Amino acid sequence: LRRPAFRSPPPHPSGERPPRIPAERMPAHVAVIMDGNGRWAQRHGLPRHEGHRAGAAAVRDVVHGALEIGLRHLTLYAFSTENWKRDPEETSAILDLLRQETRAYPFEDLDVRMRWHGRADNLPQDLVDLLDMRERSTRDRAGLTVTTCVNYGGRDEIARTAAALARRARSGRLDPDLIGEQDFAEHLPRPDMPDVDLLWRTGNEQRTSNFLPWQAAYAELHFTPDHWPDVDRRDLWRAITEYTRRQRRHGAAGPAPHEPATAPREGA
Ligand code: IPE
Ligand code: IPE
Ligand code: MG
């Protein structure tokens, strides 16, 4: 079977090109809390659903920028388990937009693998079918994996994982006394999702709102003031560039302050 030839993403209208990031500094997985659609709409005197529509355009641009910079995993928080608290008019507008974007699929001829993550049971069945269909239709693509979190909640994910572990223990195939982090990770609904390196939230709020608590346990955090519809791929590039300057330690000791970077020359 011949691999389809993928197009390269359209450049940003400004003509700006992605910064060159050394491979060893590049985050493998960037997760984004796309916040501020409602406030953006309010600022423009528009109904909230117009904010979500404008947000969808920002998503397209950021996905193009992720491809250009060579990111492997981009995960987007589109609708949380807590967002059901909103007016039904707004929740159905958000789900409608997700339907439209999944159906239209603006990334058709790009090397983008689409996946989704979240609870299927209280979502409209036709949306679940669409998301599953898109996942199947792009599963052989190897460039950028874009995971859309729909009806996603971190505590819900952890509770479901605990239930999966309990079922396995009850079946006698897992000893509860030996359950460790690796077992937990293997029973997550999306066990192959890598750890989040960089968690970026727009919209001027400094919280993680139940997003990927397991995968982002050691993520570098990046908060920006702009409302999501005002964001474009260059903000993703800035976030990644800033990430490259972070010193990640994962609990280990940092370099001693006076330690020379290279061994001193003999006799020096
Ligand atoms: C984020 O924007 C999108 C969703 C939560 C679906 P908001 O709709 O939360 O926008 P603000 O925070 O009210 O401005
Ligand atoms: C987080 O934004 C959820 C999404 C972006 C989908 P919210 O706007 O729902 O978060 P809170 O309510 O400000 O914590
Ligand atoms: Mg919000």
Ordered by start, the domain boundaries in the chain are 25-153+195-244
3-state helix, strand, coil in the chain (%, to 5): 40, 15, 45
Prediction pTM value: 0.94
- Locate 18 and state its tokens: 């992605």
Is the CB of 119 within 6 Å of ligand 1?
no
**pLDDT tier for residue 2 given thresholds of 50, 70 and 90:** low
Indicate whether 261 pLDDT > 60. Answer: no
pLDDT tens figures, 16-51: 999 999 999 999 999 999 999 999 999 999 999 999
Beta bridge partners of 223: 201
- The ligand minimizing its distance to the Cα of 51 is 1
Q: Which long-range contacts (CB under 8 A, 24 or more apart) does 153-158 make?
A: 153/80, 153/81, 153/82, 153/118, 153/119, 153/210, 154/210, 154/211, 154/212, 154/213, 154/214, 155/210, 155/213, 156/81, 156/119, 157/188, 157/189, 157/213, 157/214, 158/213, 158/214
State which CATH number among 3.40.50.2000, 3.40.605.10, 3.10.20.80, 3.40.1180.10 fits the domain covering 25-153+195-244.
3.40.1180.10
Percent of the chain with pLDDT strictly greater than 90: 93
Where is pLDDT greater, at 266 or 132? 132
Active-site amino acid positions: 35, 83
- Ligand 2 atom with the smallest distance to the CA of 33 is 5
- Locate 246 and state its tokens: 């972070």
Q: Residue of the nearest CA to atom 12 in ligand 2? A: 209
Ligand 1 centroid to Cα of residue 198, in Å, is 20
Q: What pLDDT is recorded for position 85? A: 98
Where is pLDDT greater, at 255 or 164? 164
- The ligand minimizing its distance to the Cα of 39 is 1
Q: Residue of the nearest CA to atom 13 in ligand 1? A: 38
H or E segment at 32? Answer: strand 29-33
